[in-house]
Each structure stands twice: as C-alpha cells, then as structure tokens.
Amino acid sequence: MNAPLTPSVGQPVSRVDGPLKVTGHARYAAEFDIPDMLHAALVLSTVPNGTIAAIDDEAARRAPGVHAVITHENAPRLPYRRMSQRPQVDAQSGDQLQVFQGPKIHFNGQPVAVVVAETLEQATHAASLVNVAYEEDEAFTRFELDRGQRPSSGNEKAGRPAETQMGDADAAFAAAPVKVDATYIQPREHHNAIEPHATIALWDGDFLTLYDKTQWVDNDRKEIAHVFGIHEDAIRVVSPFVGGAFGSALRTWPHVTVAALAAKVVRRPVRVELTRRELYTSVGFRPHTEQRVALGAERDGTLTAIIQEAWTQISDYEEYAEVTLDPARNTYACPNVRTRYRLVEMNTNSPCPMRGPGVATGLLAHETAMDELAVALGMDPIALRLKNYAEKDQHKDLPWSSKELRECYRIGAERFGWAGRNPEPRSMRADGQLVGYGMATAAYPAHRSKASAEATLFSNGTALIRTAASDMGPGTYTSMTQVAADALGLPLEAVRFELGDTDMPFAPVHGGSITLASVGTAVEAACRALLDDLSHVIGADLSGPFAGLSADDLEWRDGGAVRRGGGEMVPFEKLLRELKLDKIVGHGTSAPGQESKTYSSCAFGAVFAEVRVDPDLGTVRVHRVIGAYDIGRVVNPKTAHSQCIGGMVGAIGMALLEQAEWDERFGRVMNSNLAEYLVPVCADIRELDAFFVESEDRIFNPLGVKGVAELGICGVAPAIGNAVYHATGRRIRDFPILPDKLL
Amino acid sequence: MLEIDEGQVRQSEAAYPQHAASIALTINGESCQLQVDARTTLLDALRDRLHLTGTKKGCGLGQCGACTVLVDGRRVVSCLTLAVMNQGKSITTIEGIGDGELHPLQKAFVEHDGFQCGYCTPGQIMSAIGLIQEGRTRSDDEIRENMSGNLCRCGAYTNIVKAIKDALVQGVDAPEAMRQAVEAIRQDAEKGE
Ligand code: FES
Ligand code: FES
C-alpha cells in the first residue's frame, strides 16, 4: 500500500515540463517538422503614410526557389468578417490591419508583400529584390498632446473612460495645504520575448492547421475563421509551448493571416517566422504615455485630491486603450478624484497589452507622485500610504474580496530593513556610491473567466487532464498538475496535463493573470465530476467494496478510494479493472459568479528597492529589490517566486533601460534589435526576493488564488525611481532613468 | 549517424545549385554529411535541416545568445557563423550533453527554476558549460558578467546563477568531463575524415 500523500498544492514543486525545456525537446511554434514546408519572408513598407503606387516583383519571382510573391495586386480577397463581439484582446474600436487587401499604408513597417520560397535564404534574398514605389501622404509621427482625442464609446464601455470625477478634485487641490503637480513620461516599450512570433500554416483540403505562438488558441482559431470566412471547425490551432510573450501573443496579428494565405496560394505548408527587427512593427508594444499627476493633502498626510491625466499613442486604424487611470481611482482612499484620458493618433502599428497593461504605467506615475508628496510632507512613504489605506475599492464602491496589503508593507519593510533608511536624500553611501532606498505599492486587479477542462482516469491508475489553456512561462503545466493531483488523490507523477490545442476543452485567454483562478477551478471541477461519476458506478456495484455508498461517503486519496471515517483504500487500478472500465472521464466548467458584482478582487504588494548611484557617472545599479505580495493562496511557491522576480527584472528594464528610439522623420523605431533596445542582462541583476503573506481568497474563487504575473512588474519601476531620488536628490520623471539625466 | 531527410537535401540542392556546398561536421559526437546553401547559418542548418531544434533562434543577429552551441569546445552563437565555415568541426548542442540522463547543469536548472518559458534555456546551459570549462566561474560577479551574452526576458537570472553555482558545488567535475567529451568528439571527427 502506498504511503499517504501530502497535498502538492502549496509545495515548491519543480516544473513538470522542466526536463523537456532543459533538454531542448519542448517544441515551440516554428519547430514543428512539417514535410514539404516552404519558407516566407516579408517585405515591409518604408514610408509611414501613403499608398503603394507600384510594385516591381519581377526579379523576385525569377529568383531561384521562389514559389510565389504575394502582394495586394494578386492576393485573394479575404472576407475579414466582423465578429459579433470583439474579443477583449483586440482594440475595442477601429479595424484590424488587413494584409494585402489594398494599397493603403498606415505605418512604416507594414507588410506589403510576402515571398514564399523553398528555403529561408532564398525567400529572404528574393524579398530584397522586391521594389515598391509609394505615393506619400503627410504623416503624423510626432506625439502631440494637443491632438489627443477622447476614447470612443467602445473603449468607454470597456472601462477606459475619457473623464471620471468623484467629489470636486480641482477645488480640493486648489485648497490643499500641501500639494505636488508634475508630468511623467513612459516611453514606447517592446515585449521582446526571446522566442520570435512564428506561424506554420498547413491546409489539408479545406481544413487549416496552424502551429502558432499564441496565448489563446481558441481565439486565434476564431479570428482566422473570421478573416477567411470559414467555419471554426475547419481550423485547428496547436501551441504547446510559448517562449515568453508578456502580452504580445494575446491577439492574432497579421502575420498569422499571411502564413495561412500564403499556404493557400502555394498549396504547400508555409512558415512565417518574424525576424527580431520585424517584431517591432508586426506585433504590438506598450504605448508611449505621458501623465500629469496632481495630489493634494492635509498636513497630516490625508489625501484630499487626486488628479491624474494620461495621453497615450494609438495607430490611425485602431483604437487600443488601456486602464492607465484605474490606479488613480482605487489605490488610495480619497474623496476627490478626477481623471482624464486622451488618445493621440499616429502613423504607427497598434500598441497592445504588455505585462501589467495600463496599471504598471498608471502606477509608475502615481507611485512616483506619492513619493514626491511624502517628501513635501516630510513624511515616511509607508506611513503616507497607510494613512490613506483604501479599505474598499472606492471607485467601484465595493468591498475587497481580500486585502492583506498592510501585512505586505510590514513584512516587506522588515525583510528589506527599511528602518535603517535615513530619509534625507544623498545621506547614505557605500563603497563610494550614493545609496538610495525607495518603495512603492503594487496592485493588479484579479479577474476570472469562464473555463473548462476534461479529466480522464485510466485503468492503470494514471490521469490525463486537458484544456486549451497556455503556458508562456508562469508554470501552467505544473500548477494544473498539482491541482489535479490533489483533487484526484494521486501522486504528481501519475497526472499528465496537456494544453495549447483547440481540440481540447475551451479555455480563456492566458493573460491578465487569470489562468490559475479560471482554468485551475475548471480543472478541479473536471476532477470532481469524474470522481462523482466514479462514486456512482462503484456505489451501484453491489458486489464491490463500496456498494450502496454515495460520493459523500467516500474520500479519494493515496491513489484510490477510501470509505470516509476509515477503512481500506482500494486503488483506482483495482476499482476500474473490476468494473471492466478502461477509463472514466469527467468534464468541468467554472465561471465567476455573483461575487464579481458584489466584491472587488485584487492582488497586492509592497516593493522595496535599493540602488547604488555613481556620483560622478550617474550610473544606477539596482542593488536589491524585495517584494512582499498578497496573491491569495500560493499553489506553487517556487514558480510564483520566479514570476515575481521575473517581473522585477522586467521593471528594472522599465526604470533604467528600455525605450524604443523613435525617428520622427520616418515614423520608425531605430533601435529595433536586442543590442540597441536595452533589456536587463545577467550582470544587471543582483539580489531579488519575493515573500508571500498569509492570504487566501475563497470569495474570489474556490481555489483561493488571485494571480501573480502582472502584479510582479507593478510598482517596481517607481520604487527604483524613488530610490534614485533618495540616493541623489534628483527626481527623474522621464523614464528610463539614463545616466545623462542624473548628471 | 544523424538522421537526415534525404528528400529534403535533394530538393534543396536542386533549388539552388549555384549556392550549394557539401560539408562534413561532427554533431554531438556523430559525423554527418550535409548539402547546404552557402548562405545557411549553422543555426538554421541545425534547426531546419537536421531538426535539432533545441538550439533556439532569438534574434539571428548575435545579440541574445539563445543559439549558443559549442564549436570545438568553444562557446559560439550559431546564428553568426555559416554552416560552411564549420567544415570538419565538432559541434555540441543541448541535445548532446545529457548522455542518457540529465546533465548536472540541466538538473540544477530544473531544481532552481532557472527559467520560465524555457526558450533561452538551452543557450544558457550551453554557455554555462562553456564558462565552467573555461574556469570563469570563480565568483558570482564573474558568472553574471560572463553569462550576460545570454538574455532571459523572463528574468530568471538570479536562479540561473544559483543553478550554475549549485552544479559547481555538487562537485560536477564539469571542466574535466567536458574536456574529455570534447577530446572524444575530436577523435571521432578525425576518424570520420
Ligand atoms: S539567435 Fe543567435 S544570438 Fe540571438
Ligand atoms: S526562460 Fe524565458 S527567456 Fe529565459
């Protein structure tokens, strides 16, 4: 008999897909070995606005190995049917970019042709032979605040309002004895996951298979079905591994259509693998955003006015908007709050969500302003935040389903050694460097969506769980295996979990940190359905050991069934064998209920950073970052920790390194590569640590979890900026904080 | 011998006779003959021709390290070297380090969660093997500095450093083991010629 199993939820289990990843056997989108596959190379526009006047593709067509050159002149017309309901991952207004359907150019870097050839080298060479002439129109390539427009109704409805007002913020601000008022800039940033976006398209008659890099196979299928005007059942999308995405693979970008279209034209499978440069215009980015934050307070630190205004860039064909101003409305208690949101149309490709979309941007400005207010008040930054602690979500006027942020401040400060901070700027030094301590609040709303899963128990005592979810790195494979193992009373090794295929039960988008709360509860439900079914069968088996018993009389543990209150465990193998069953299957669906209307759910954290600044050179090194987080129940402390420190690394980029260098003359990102678009490297990172406070949110969902990924990048960049202020006495409001800004 | 899809080789040859070249390499200890386009990088040859997709393409510009392999025991970004430049050389990829079970570094990466999405991971591990072999792992700072050619956008750096140190502490005599492995590969290559 097996030794009793300890529950695996809560244990720091190593990734179940770890061995596949470290041996190179995990298969990402571009790596499927498809016989007869051809390669594609894109030709991109070189002007920011205008129309194609002529395309000369003669030389490209004649180049060796070339099967087709597809342009708007010869491409089949695609129906691009409208969806009855826009998926949340798409822009909420405007029209997606249509590929090869007309001569209009919206931005520099727009695909104008694709060359399909026998090999990548041939395709790439032939693409260089395509000559495109343009008739240029005047382009909007400058970010001009006075061209800011109100979000359209689609975005207003999706929670991105042009204005909100609570109380009278302007009057309260004017009357406030202590105030700060400043403008903050966050530049355009790119996801730059290490795996480039790639799609392999393969038609078998009228049936299309796509091997794609996507955070949402089900929606990918739906989008392509609408583009081609075919039924969803005629498409399968496969995506078992995603090499990082951070939001860039939420929606279905034009290159997926290019792959499917090209494969249709040449009647062979085709792979489109975007180059690193192409990624800067072929998928989205975090939009350039400028914000004004004005805070007014009483002398004791009580906030009396919050005004936050944001201007952000959009493309001229779509209106992608963010929840940038949510943090202004619900992070702290304040009776007078006003926000204003404006969109600046430009000749650029469309932006899209990037880790912590909107919230990370809004918090960057808001949490820097809070630090400035603390300085103006002569108050400790933590004390200021506690003074204005939001006991409820004042914007929605709902109680929190759980909130342990006070504990986050306490534990974070303790682990960091905040008490050792001399509040005076430029007062602390070490090894000839200026030392700065800074902190900020992190918060990211917790959401849940409808999800489903299928659980199968086999007569050999193993189980298979399937759902069309995704794992771009957080550890979905592992956490779901843990949830299922506990639900079924099986050891981890006996459970296999599969995801990333439209043939599997539907799952929501793998984004917004919703996967565990949504899919995890569906997996648990599927396991429960399976066991309910099994208990019926064994209860009805009059000759069996559990004759006459019902689900309530049974427990499932150690790989089998036990009568509640004691008795011998009968292994699943034996039960199924005696019932002459090969397997037993359960289906589960879960969805948010009434609680989503009566509570506000959010994950919280307190982030502390220590920087060292060279007084002569202005170089900033992040010495350490420590975060204390309330993420609800922690299913896997090992992978959750990795998500948090991974978010910190991203945020170190946001604070100190990352920005697209935009050439206003041509509307182009100049540093479209990984040597000139700086991201943190190993030598930039020293000590990072994350702690989880005791928390469990059973109101939000039965698993008690909240969500981690987005939260991890929130609050870190302002904590670093605040530390730089403390070290140097210089307040940099124009991110990233480059050395020249400190000299 | 590595399995090569003959059909595809012929096809490629027919497609660009003017650029075709024939090369002999030793890959993970096995000799192999290959017809390649002279413009094909070692990375694309590994991934698309030999279907050794453990070596990753992150940028194709020598900037991310995802494509790191060992060429005659030295760390090389395989996207910056053409396949034809490696005639007669001995290539070690992530698929060739395990010897039936996980290499100590692979184990340490799993144990310390030295990755999230896993896409940069083979390159990180190959770089780490190179570092250990070069003896450039004497301090955390030295490891960090020398691993900085391998970007990890998921931000697993602190765990990567822990994994490398752990593999060292575990008494993995990686330098010696690697030297032997490289030597064996060399000898094989000579025999093959
Ligand atoms: S793919 Fe070779 S360094 Fe990035
Ligand atoms: S693990 Fe994703 S890039 Fe390193």
CB-closest option in B37, B63, B153 to A119: B37
Read off the tokens for A509: 């988008």
pLDDT of B71 reads 97
AA letter at A726: H
AA letter at A653: G
Q: Which residue of A has its CA nearest to B95?
A: A23
The burial of A427, by beta-carbon neighbours within 10 Å (0-12 exposed, 13-18 middle, 19 or more buried), is given as middle
Read off the tokens for A486: 């506990």
With a cut of 50, say whether residue A510 has pLDDT above it.
Answer: yes
Q: What is the Cα–Cα distance from A577 to B132, expressed in whole angstroms? A: 52
Count of A–B CB contacts within 8 Å? 203
- Which of A194, A239, A279 to mutate to probe the B interface, most B CBs <10 Å? A194
Element of type H or E holding A270: strand A270-273
Q: DSSP class of residue A695?
A: -
Tokens 């956008």 correspond to what residue? B153
Asked if A679 reaches chain B (Cβ–Cβ under 8 Å), the answer is yes
Catalytic status, residue A710: yes
Among candidate residues A209, A173, A215, A212, the one with its CA nearest the CA of residue A191 = A215
Read off the tokens for A385: 């935040």
pLDDT band at residue A6 using 50, 70 and 90 as cut-offs: confident
Q: Whose CA is nearest to atom 3 of ligand 2?
A: B152
Per DSSP (E only), the strands in A45-145 are: 50-56, 66-71, 104-105, 111-117, 131-136
- Which residues, 6+ apart, have CB-to-CB distance to A95 below 8 Å? A317, A318
Q: How far is CA A560 from CA A341, A485, A496, A550, in A?
A: 57, 12, 17, 15
With a cut of 80, say whether residue B8 has pLDDT above it.
Answer: no
pLDDT in tens, B85-139: 999 999 999 999 987 899 999 999 999 999 999 999 999 999 999 999 888 999 9
Q: Which residue in A278, A345, A658, A710 is the catalytic one?
A: A710
Per DSSP (E only), the strands in A279-406 are: 289-297, 303-314, 337-345, 392-393, 398-399
Mutate to test the pocket of ligand 1, among B40, B42, B64 (most ligand atoms within 8 A of CB): B64
Q: What is the Cα–Cα distance from A9 to A38, expressed in whole angstroms? A: 45
AA letter at A581: L
Other beta carbons within 10 Å of A205: 6
With a cut of 50, say whether residue B7 has pLDDT above it.
Answer: no
Query: In this complex, do B154 and A681 lie within 8 Å of one another by their Cβ atoms?
Result: no
What is the side-by-side strand order in the sheet with A620-630?
A: A428-430, A433-445, A602-613, A620-630, A687-692
pLDDT of A484 reads 98
Q: In chain A, what residues touch B115 (CB-CB under 8 Å)?
A: 18, 21-22, 473
**CB A255 within 8 Å of CB A236:** no
CB-closest option in A30, A276, A642 to B113: A642
Which of A359-373, A551-565, A653-667 has the least mean pLDDT? Answer: A551-565
Enumerate the H helices of chain B as residue ranges. 6-15, 42-44, 104-111, 121-134, 140-146, 157-169, 174-192
Q: What is the pTM of this model?
A: 0.95
| Average pLDDT in chain A | 97
Please name the residues between 351 and 410 in chain A that touch chain B, using a CB distance below 8 Å: none
pLDDT of B170 reads 75
Q: In chain B, what residues touch A193 (CB-CB under 8 Å)?
A: 117, 119, 153
Element of type H or E holding A374: helix A359-377
The burial of A602, by beta-carbon neighbours within 10 Å (0-12 exposed, 13-18 middle, 19 or more buried), is given as buried
Q: Which domains, ranges and CATH numbers included, belong to chain B? A: 20-96 (3.10.20.30), 104-192 (1.10.150.120)
pLDDT in tens, A598-648: 999 999 999 999 999 999 999 999 999 999 999 999 999 999 999 999 999
Q: In chain B, what residues touch A641 (CB-CB under 8 Å)?
A: 113
pLDDT in tens, A442-494: 999 999 999 999 999 999 999 999 999 999 999 999 999 999 999 999 999 99
Report, as an integer, the average pLDDT of A163-174.
98
Query: In this complex, do A243 and B157 lie within 8 Å of one another by their Cβ atoms?
Result: no
What is the side-by-side strand order in the sheet with A463-466?
A: A495-498, A463-466, A451-458, A583-590
pLDDT of B6 reads 39
pLDDT band at residue B10 using 50, 70 and 90 as cut-offs: very low
Q: What is the Cα–Cα distance from A164 to A172, expressed in whole angstroms? A: 15
Which contacts (CB < 8 Å, 24+ apart) does range A542-548 have?
A544/A575, A544/A578, A544/A579, A545/A570, A546/A570
Tokens 């730059």 correspond to what residue? A192
Query: In this complex, do B119 and A64 lie within 8 Å of one another by their Cβ atoms?
Result: no
Residue A554, classed as helix, strand or coil, is strand
Mutate to test the pocket of ligand 2, among B119, B126, B157 (most ligand atoms within 8 A of CB): B119
Asked if A645 reaches chain B (Cβ–Cβ under 8 Å), the answer is yes
Greatest CA separation for chain B: 52
**CB A608 within 8 Å of CB A409:** no
pLDDT in tens, A376-385: 999 999 999 9
Query: In this complex, do A31 and B154 lie within 8 Å of one another by their Cβ atoms?
Result: no
Report, as an integer, the average pLDDT of B39-56.
97
pLDDT of A1 reads 40
pLDDT of A343 reads 98
pLDDT in tens, A715-732: 999 999 999 999 999 999
Which contacts (CB < 8 Å, 24+ apart) does range A128-131 have?
A129/A57, A129/A59, A129/A60, A129/A63, A130/A43, A130/A55, A130/A56, A130/A57, A130/A59, A130/A60, A130/A69, A131/A55, A131/A56, A131/A57
- Which residues, 6+ apart, have CB-to-CB distance to A312 below 8 Å? A287, A288, A289, A290, A321, A322, A324, A341, A342, A343, A344, A351, A361
Centre of ligand 2 to C-alpha B157, Å, is 9
Centre of ligand 1 to C-alpha B136, Å, is 22
What is the DSSP pairing of strand A687-692 with strand A620-630?
parallel
Report, as an integer, the average pLDDT of B36-53.
96
pLDDT of B99 reads 78
- Which residues, 6+ apart, have CB-to-CB distance to A702 below 8 Å? A521, A524, A590
Q: DSSP class of residue A547?
A: T
Please give the share of chain A, as a percent, with pLDDT higher than 70.
99
CB-closest option in B18, B39, B147 to A682: B147
Read off the tokens for B8: 């595809």
Report, as an integer, the average pLDDT of A8-29.
97
Mutate to test the pocket of ligand 2, among B68, B116, B127, B148 (most ligand atoms within 8 A of CB): B116
With a cut of 70, say whether residue B12 has pLDDT above it.
Answer: no
Read off the tokens for A154: 């689609």
Q: What is the Cα–Cα distance from A136 to A141, expressed in whole angstroms? A: 13
Query: In this complex, do B106 and A19 lie within 8 Å of one another by their Cβ atoms?
Result: yes
Report, as an integer, the average pLDDT of A146-173.
96
Q: What is the Cα–Cα distance from A621 to A684, expressed in whole angstroms? A: 7
pLDDT of A567 reads 87
Please give the share of chain A, as a percent, with pLDDT higher than 90.
98
Chain B: give the shortest CA distance to residue A122, in Å: 8
Query: In this complex, do B151 and A15 lie within 8 Å of one another by their Cβ atoms?
Result: no
With a cut of 90, say whether residue B3 has pLDDT above it.
Answer: no
With a cut of 70, say whether residue A544 has pLDDT above it.
Answer: yes
Q: What is the Cα–Cα distance from A613 to A6, expressed in whole angstroms? A: 48
pLDDT of A51 reads 98
Please name the residues between 176 and 235 in chain A that touch chain B, using a CB distance below 8 Å: 191-196
Query: In this complex, do A21 and B115 lie within 8 Å of one another by their Cβ atoms?
Result: yes
Chain A: give the shortest CA distance to residue B82, in Å: 12
Chain A: give the shortest CA distance to residue B74, in Å: 19
Handedness of CA A282, A284, A285, A287 (dihedral sign): positive
pLDDT of B100 reads 82
Q: How far is CA B40 from CA A120, A275, A480, B37, in A?
A: 8, 15, 41, 5
pLDDT of B169 reads 82
Read off the tokens for A383: 């004390």
Of ligand 1's listed atoms, the one at least distance from the Cα of B63 is 3
Chain A: give the shortest CA distance to residue B163, in Å: 12
pLDDT band at residue A400 using 50, 70 and 90 as cut-offs: very high
pLDDT of A660 reads 98
Query: In this complex, do B95 and A125 lie within 8 Å of one another by their Cβ atoms?
Result: no
CB-closest option in A24, A28, A244 to B153: A244
**CB A41 within 8 Å of CB A114:** yes
Q: Is B113 left (phi over 0), alpha (psi -120 to 50) or beta?
A: left
pLDDT in tens, A366-378: 999 999 999 999 9
With a cut of 60, say whether residue A2 has pLDDT above it.
Answer: no
With a cut of 80, say whether residue A19 has pLDDT above it.
Answer: yes
Q: Which residue of A has its CA nearest to B106?
A: A22
Q: Which domains, ranges and CATH numbers included, belong to chain A? A: 18-26+449-591 (3.30.365.10), 32-138+194-244+249-282 (3.30.365.10), 146-189+285-447+597-742 (3.30.365.10)
Mutate to test the pocket of ligand 2, among B109, B154, B158, B159 (most ligand atoms within 8 A of CB): B154
- The pocket around ligand 2, CB under 6 angstroms, is made up of A 194, 244, 473; B 115-121, 152-154, 156
With a cut of 70, say whether residue A703 has pLDDT above it.
Answer: yes
pLDDT of B14 reads 46
Query: In this complex, do B158 and A33 lie within 8 Å of one another by their Cβ atoms?
Result: no
**CB B19 within 8 Å of CB B82:** no
pLDDT in tens, A335-345: 999 999 999 99
